[in-house]
Amino acid sequence: MKKVIKTDKAPAAIGPYSQAIEVNGVVYTSGIIPVVPSTGEIPEGSVAQAKQAFENLSNLLDAAGCTMNDVVKTTVFIKEMNDFAKINEVYATFFEGDFPSRSCVEVARLPKDVMLEIEAIAIKNA
């Protein structure tokens, strides 16, 4: 059975999609961008944007009954591959123990012209 996951502690969907969907204990998130949910503002710089995006992801997973440690796969879309090392440092701080598998892709443009977007797949109680 499909369950829609929604929280006001992560950016609202800006189109015809859900923030996340859970099916059989697996949570699939949509792309999360670094928008401050309470204000709609976007932090300056790739490090601040990475922190905000991962906080948003963590909040969305919390709404689904998961933690970052339940994540088994991430996909990170970045606007500038030169920011890879900085984003990697932030990424590492959001996980304890084993890291999930990951893909990282440089893209030409992201919604609201942000520097990165992240999506994840988590297994409840992984």
Catalytic residues: 104
Query: What gap in Å lies between CA 5 and CA 76, rounded to an integer?
Result: 21
Farthest CA pair distance, the chain: 41
Residue 118: burial class (beta carbons within 10 Å; 0-12, 13-18, 19+):
buried
Instruction: Tell me the C-alpha to C-alpha distance, in Å, between residue 113 and each of 42, 99, 117, 118.
Output: 10, 28, 10, 14
